[in-house]
Every structure is written in C-alpha cells, then in structure tokens.
Amino acid sequence: SVDTLAYSREHSLSVEMAARELRYGWFEELRQKSGADYVAVAHNANDNAETLLLNLCRGTGIKGLCGMRELDGRHILRPLLGFSRAQIESYLKQNSIPFRTDSTNAENTFSRNRIRNSVLAELKQINPSVISTLNKNMERFRMASAVLERAAGELRRKFSVSGKEYAGRIADRGGVAAFLTACLSECRIREVIDTASLAKEGKDVCGYVMYEVLSGYGFNPSQCSDMASAAESAESKRIENDAFVAIAGRGLLKVYDATLFAVPDSVKIDFQPACNTFETAFGSLRLRFSLLPYEKGMTGLREERSLFITADSLHFPLLLRSVQPGDRFSPFGLGGSKKLSDYYTDLKIDNAIRRLVPLLEDNTKKSPDNIVALPGLEISNRFKVTSESRTLLKITLL
C-alpha cells in the first residue's frame, strides 16, 4: 500500500491528484507485467462533465475544455465514456448484474464530489440534459482545439529561429563578446521564437503561440502568461523549472536546457611540474590555459578564441569563478576600474547568461586588480603583455 497523504505532501499535490497519479501508476505497472495493450477504466459521461467543470473552476486553456478521451496516449481506454451514469445503472439493473457504489461518492469532502452532488444537481434544474449538453460541448471544444493546435504549430514553425541561426545573429555583432555569447547560446538552446515578428500577427495570437511553446516544456499557465507580457519588452523576463529555463524579451523567446545554467562556484587553475598546459570545464564552456615564453611582437597579441596576459606576477593557483555582486574589473586600455555589471551591459551580454561567463581571479587579496581576465572577453589592464613580460598565460575557449 502507498500513503496517499504523504505522497501528496511530497509532490505538492491535492489528495485527489495524488491518488490519481498513484492509481494510474499502478495501472501502468499491471499493464506492463501482464503484457496488455490497454487498461480499461470505467469513466462515463458524468465523470467527463465533472472534469470539465473542475477544470473551469481551477483555470484552464482550450485543452482543459476537451475533457477525457476514449483513448489517450497512456494506454488508457474508456469504453463507457459515451454513456451516462444513469444509462449504465439502468442497464445493470435490467440485466440483473450486481454492482457496487463507492460510499465516499456521497461525501462532499473533495471538489469533484461537490461538483457531482451540488453543482451538477443545480445545473440539472436549468437543463435536465446538462450531462449530454456538456459532453457535446466538449466534442466541439476538441474540434476547435485541433484547429487551434494546427494553426499555432504553423505559426510556431514560421517564426522559429534555429539555435545555430540565433548564435549566428549574435556573432554577426562582431567581437569576442559576440563569439562567447553565441557559443554559450548554441550549446544548450532548445528553441527560439521571433516574438517581435510573431507579435505582428496580433497580441492574442502571439500570447497563445507562446503558451503552446512554453506549456510543452512544462511551464504552468501563470508563468506562460507572465512571459507573454514580456514578449516585446526591452527588459528580459526569466522563468525556470527543473528541466528548462525560458527567457523572453527584446523580441525573442528562448528556451534553454537547465543544465546550461549549472556552473560550479569555482575551479582552481594550476599547473603540474613540467606541464605548461591545463584544461578544464566551466559549465558548458571548455577552456585551455597555456604557459609560454614571451617573444618579440607579442605585445597586444589577440586571437579569435584566445587572450594573452603576462604571468610574471600571478600567484598560482588561480581561481575561475562566476560573477558576484560588487565585482569590479579594470578592462584593457582603461586606467581605472568599473563595475562588472556595467561592463557586461556595455557589451550587450544578456543578463540571463552573465553568470555563465567565467572570470579568472588571482585571489591572494581582494581588490579590483584581482580579476586578471574574463576568458573569451577581455584582459585586465594590469596584466597586459608588455615588452618587459617574460612568461605569458594564454587563455583559450575550446
């Protein structure tokens, strides 16, 4: 046996929903063990009407108005869905077939029972055929849902931007910052929708397509609604669940794997004796650190994926970490320091991925001068290569 109450608390579910999940989970276990194709359950037209009213009370989209189906994708078959409870009981009595009624059905402890015993009883005073009427309505809702789903799918495809194309758009801005942002974006991005163009189809159309996209990644209606309001905003809005992170704003909706945002607090960078190369990962980025002697002409040296700093005054091990509030940086060519957040804003790096950009720190003392480089972006002015440098540290994004 399973403790339904404990399960409901553990998974933040109502007792009704917890019992339902456990029940269907058990049915599926039995189906697999027996090698059966389907599990037949006894839902009837009354149950379907109750489901419709429950969904309306709780809040739902068009799919929640469609009710249960005779055959769904979970190997569940409902052969009695087209018959009312009264029809079924009449048949059983006429054919002297014994049946049992759950005594708790008469108790108004749960929402479904209150719908069944009170709400539907009142509605029958208005329309004695309300069960049949609600089921016919659900048929029409299913037809409307099919049309909407197809139309939304076509718009979704029309305004979809591939991860590679999106990364290319960023890279087209030019510069190392664009390359780094593109690299981070492409590696874990699931979907990008051009909401700036989609919004021209109408606000409601845009909102519905965004709902279809986001709900497919497990986001709830409230989150979807919040994101729709940010579709054309200059400020980005972010939502997340266990598997995905979605960001809307500046004319785009982006959905990432949540693993992209799993970065370590810090990684130590050190070299073994007689070894001048060190490779490591920082979240989705891989980096190589190489020590090499200074040669004439290396002053101001840069490569597309590499930065060079003087290593003469560095204290190993260095620390590779994420940005923290209050971090300051002395960019190459700037006499003083500035807030790292301001520096990222100047480079138009999305707020959502700033924490993914590592910074390299000589943490022997706390000061702006401790940040020696932002791999993939810029070096500290204090650690620039000069003609007096003897040893260089090359930092490469792989």
CA 383 to CA 333: how far, in whole Å? Answer: 11
**CB-CB neighbours of 85 under 10 Å:** 16
Question: CB of 109 within 8 A of CB of 52?
Answer: no
Q: Give residue 185's Cα distance to chain centre.
A: 14
Query: Tell me: the pLDDT tens digits for 185-217?
Result: 555 788 999 999 999 999 999 999 999 999 999
Sign of the dihedral through C-alpha 105, 109, 111, 116:
positive
Question: CB of 307 within 8 A of CB of 378?
Answer: yes
| pLDDT value at residue 387 | 86
CA 48 to CA 82: how far, in whole Å? Answer: 9
CA 69 to CA 73: how far, in whole Å? Answer: 10
| pLDDT value at residue 363 | 78
Low-confidence ranges of the chain (pLDDT < 50): none
Overall pTM surpassing 0.85 (yes/no): no
Query: Tell me: the pLDDT tens digits for 256-289?
Result: 888 888 888 889 998 887 788 999 988 878 899 9
Q: Would you state the CATH architecture of domain 37-150?
A: 3-Layer(aba) Sandwich (3.40)
Residue 359, CA atoms < 13 Å, CB-side half-sphere:
23
CATH 3.40.50.620 domain extents, the chain: 37-150
Residue 198 buriedness (CB in 10 A; 0-12 / 13-18 / 19+):
buried
CA 24 to CA 212: how far, in whole Å? Answer: 26
| pLDDT value at residue 392 | 92
How far apart are the two ends of the chain, measured CA to CA in Å? 53
